[in-house]
Amino acid sequence: MKLTELFQRGEFVVTAEVGPPKGTNIDHLIDEVNTYLRDKVTAVNVTDNQSSVVRIGSLATCKVMQDLGVNSIFQLTCRDRNRIALQSDLLSAAMLGIENLLLLTGDHTTLGDNPQAKPVFDLDSVSLLHAVRKLEQGEDLAGNKLEGTPPSFCKGAVVSPCSDSVDVQLAKMEQKVKAGAEYFQTQAVYEPEKFIKFMEQAKQFGVPVMLGIVIPKSVGMAKFMNANVAGIHVPDEMIEELKKDKEKTKAGITGVEISARLIRECREYCQGVHIMALGWESKVPDLLAQAGI
């Protein structure tokens, strides 16, 4: 089912991100999805070689999710493919019945486990959105006609509402909406007041926005994000909260409490929440319960 159908019905949409393994054994991922995410979230977002690390592909994993009866979101980045391969994978997704997309430019290859790999970036996230819309109109980017019924997707994009450059983010968001974005997932939010202020301006675009939540696992993780991840700032008082009880933080209790509080504070300003558990999928049911979802 397309997420757009749920947004149009006024439902608060909940999605969760999973990362395919580095290797061919997907049993652990299937167990986690069946145990912690099935019937708890609307759809599972499958990352595309996240952090530029070689993994099982997003498209194949989405097909596994669909076969399990779990709605999937095909995440597609521009880093590893030229426009031919990107359009081919999109047509393959349509053939396999995968309707939901999240389209990104992607991390640079130097960040991953094969730093010598040559990045492609033939398209970026905006031109990839345009390419999807062209396919939906029955032709490829070069104007060549497609055979058969054109594909139909729900097209998602990303935005960083807590970035220091709010005007830049709003401009990028507008570009993506014009290129065909039908919903947005945000970068991780730890400053609800910034998110709310951003949403007051972003509502002009009339496109659903899903609050991005990364469960903070430790003080070290929070400090790393502050130092290395653009558009994310974990406030000092939140870091102190993580420091307060090391055992509670280690068990994930503090991180879940913080994340649930963020959802409660931001819920009325967004149309859904996207949870990036980063290996803590087992915490998702408790997080949603504490958030009142």
257 by DSSP, 3-state: which? helix
Alpha-carbon distances of 264 from 259, 287, 290, rounded to whole Å: 9, 11, 9
Find the helix or strand (DSSP H, E) in which 58 lies.
Answer: helix 58-67
**pLDDT single digits (tens) 143-160:** 999 999 999 999 999 999
> Is domain 3-291 in CATH 3.90.950.10, yes or no?
no
**pLDDT single digits (tens) 79-112:** 999 999 999 999 999 999 999 999 999 889 988 8
pTM of full prediction above 0.85: yes
**More confident of the two residues 230 and 191:** 191
Instruction: Calculate mean pLDDT across residues 21-40.
Output: 96
Q: What average pLDDT does the chain have?
A: 95
Q: Where are the domains of the chain?
A: 3-291
Model confidence band, residue 231 (pLDDT cutoffs 50, 70, 90): confident
Model confidence band, residue 173 (pLDDT cutoffs 50, 70, 90): very high
